[in-house]
Chain A
Amino acid sequence: MQEIKRRYVIPGDKIIEGNYKPLMNVVKSGNYLISTRVGIAEAGKDGVKVIPLSGVYIPRVNDLVIGKVIDRSSLSWDVDINACFLAHLPAQDVFGRDFSPAKDDMGRQLGIGDLIIARIVSFDRTRDPMLTVQDKDLGKIPYGEFIKISPTRVPRLIGKRGSMIQTIEQATQTRVIIGQNGIVVVTGRDPEGLSLAAKAIRLVEEESHTTNLTQRVKTLLNVQDPEDQEQSEAVEASSSSASGGGIQEPEPPQASAESTPQTTSSQPQPEPPQASAESTPQTTSSQPQPEPPQASAESTPQTTSSQPQPEPPQASAESSQTTSNSVKTSSSTKEKHKIENSEKSSNSNSNDDQKEKKQE
């Protein structure tokens, strides 16, 4: 597959002739593979794919998304997840199995306009997406800067092993919650840090097709850049989970497991993103921390963490049950292994970037 040069394509462009396997956003036509999207064509692990640069969010099972409650029926909430379909959050998911519309007041948990971070538990060609907030760190997001970006830019914003978002969080003393659907919420104490983080996120969105982006983000954020830290540059996180093609049939278990590191965590690292934001001194090194620096964070509502956030008090009280401390999920050794693998596979890109940087 070496003969496939990474290049910009538009729909209909012939990428290569011959017997290759079409992956994401590539279809076979005669003896050619052609792109179905505007994006970057490249050789994947076992075929040819196009990393798209535009498109609405297509839900995928296990994705973490940030949604807006826009309506409710007697048994569930309707949630706008910035996708082609409304998602539903069953009241039972929040109240438990013995939920009763007569007894329980749904309005006490979630109101119209509330933002939630949730996981998609089911979705296929015949059913609307179903959400859950029953997991650590899921639930209502009570405050923060709301930013909407193109869902296709999400993998780039996260970066390899969460490198990009980690850079932004550390430099701006903020915490960034990223939904795969392109909704981003930034929280932090310092208004300047917030606005700088927002600027950096916008920069990533606008220039995500370019090389050397991490460098430019660091320049914007005024981050010193030790040579050895720069490992993560690539035009795209390699196992991109951004809207690849259309609505898929349910995937075999292996396939979905493979995508887990991407789709379930903005930072597939042992430490929660929030920790990196709130305890900068410990995380300035690029080494993954084996231990969450803020062990107490997991059981403590966010608002009582050592560095109080500037949210209105009533919101915090409301949210303490449902709000997450971070968008972290456990990263098993197995997953970590996969991440490393995927990084290896894209090492050539990083090297390219390194070279380009030196030339500058």
Chain B
Amino acid sequence: MSSSKRSTIIVEQLRKQQMLEALSRGKRLDGRDYDLYRNLEIEVGIIDKASGSAKVKLGNTEVIAGVKVETGEPFEGLENKGALIMSAEVLPTASPHVEPGPPDEDAIELSRVVDRGIRESEMLDLDKLALIPGKTVYTVFVDCSIINSDGNLLDATSYAVVAALLTSKFPVYEIQEDKVVNTGKTMPPPITTIPISITAVKIGESVLIDPTTEEEACMDARITMTTQSDGSIVAVQKGFTGPFSINQIVEFSEIARIKGEEIRSKIKELNSG
């Protein structure tokens, strides 16, 4: 069941006024321009026990993603493809407003939107991850833990997933006498493209990318657009109760492409380093 409860976070009225006043001058409360990202730090390989891992700090938002590669049965209808399974949990450490327990609708939307960008871009070439077609395939788990939350969990999580996958080393499984054997060797994952999501919120008529918690608490609407390396759009999610004009959407798609490329080149550096 979905109910339209307001955000549990109430922004101080005087902060909200200041925000609106700043927006009328084309500025945000933290001094950023509308299309400027917060400081983005990515650290990879932090979990030795995972095949790949990354910690992303986007402003004060902090997310860890870990990749685990095992073998299992393929999904129905996708017998010749490896299986990709994503999850995200907003840990109760993340803010005073998070209750421990099974993911709520926001957390589920979060992991599904991130999943969609990876899956639809075919970032991982799942065709290369089948072992015995129809019977045994690689199962790639990507799990995300949101440790601290200060807005735009969607993009921070998405970058953590992309960085963890990109820098991961998959174990090499072989079939010996009808049995799956871990050879102890590793291989780079079959990567075809790098999907990057860009999220913005609309407050009044202003469209701000990479929103903070405070901005999200004042938003009328939210939009996330994921582009892949060649610039084409692979996933979109419009969220929250307010509408966007067609013009705003078209303009945003251009911003998503340009900003996406900026972030993509930053993430690409991880592998060359």
Contacts and interface: CB of A to CB of B under 8 A. Distances in A.
Query: Do A and B originate from a single complex?
Result: yes
Interface of A: 68, 70, 80, 111-115, 141-144, 146, 185, 312, 315
Which 10 pairs from chain A and chain B are nearest by CB? Answer: A113-B13, A114-B13, A70-B10, A113-B10, A143-B14, A146-B15, A115-B12, A146-B12, A68-B12, A113-B12
A146 B14 contact: yes
Contacts of B18: 143
B32 to A, nearest CB: 16
28 contacts: A68-B10, A68-B12, A70-B10, A80-B10, A111-B13, A112-B10, A112-B13, A113-B10, A113-B11, A113-B13, A113-B16, A114-B12, A114-B13, A115-B12, A115-B13, A115-B14, A141-B14, A142-B14, A143-B17, A143-B18, A144-B14, A146-B12, A146-B14, A146-B15, A185-B14, A312-B17, A312-B21, A315-B17
Nearest to A68: B12
A190 to B, nearest CB: 16
A318 to B, nearest CB: 10
Nearest to A110: B13
Nearest to B16: A113
Contacts of A80: 10
B143 to A, nearest CB: 32
A146 B21 CA distance: 15
Contacts of B17: 143, 312, 315
A146 B19 CA distance: 12
Contacts of A143: 14, 17-18
A115 B17 CA distance: 12
Nearest to A144: B14
A143 B10 CA distance: 16
Most A CB within 10 A of own CB, among B13, B16, B21: B13
Interface string B3-42: 0000000111111111001000000000000000000000
Contacts of A315: 17
A315 B15 CA distance: 13
B49 to A, nearest CB: 33
A178 B15 CA distance: 17
Nearest to B217: A113
Interface string B130-166: 0000000000000000000000000000000000000
B231 to A, nearest CB: 40
A146 B16 CA distance: 11
Contacts of B12: 68, 113-115, 146
A111 B15 CA distance: 14
Interface in B51-86: none
A185 B17 CA distance: 14
Given A115-B14, A315-B17, 5 more contacts: A113-B10, A113-B16, A143-B17, A185-B14, A312-B21
Contacts of B14: 115, 141-144, 146, 185
Most B CB within 10 A of own CB, among A68, A70, A113, A142: A113
B272 to A, nearest CB: 38
A141 B17 CA distance: 12
A185 B16 CA distance: 14
A112 B11 CA distance: 9
A316 to B, nearest CB: 12
A108 to B, nearest CB: 14
Most A CB within 10 A of own CB, among B10, B14, B17: B14
A208 to B, nearest CB: 22
B14 to A, nearest CB: 5
Contacts of A142: 14
Nearest to B15: A146
A126 to B, nearest CB: 24
A114 B10 CA distance: 10
A114 B14 CA distance: 7
Contacts of A112: 10, 13
A113 B14 CA distance: 8
B199 to A, nearest CB: 24
Nearest to A183: B12
A142 B18 CA distance: 11
A70 B10 CA distance: 7
A144 B18 CA distance: 9
A173 B197 CA distance: 45
B27 to A, nearest CB: 12
Nearest to A187: B14
A197 B14 CA distance: 18
Contacts of A70: 10
A12 B265 CA distance: 51
Nearest to A142: B14
B94 to A, nearest CB: 18
Contacts of B13: 111-115
B175 to A, nearest CB: 57
A62 to B, nearest CB: 24
Interface in B181-199: none
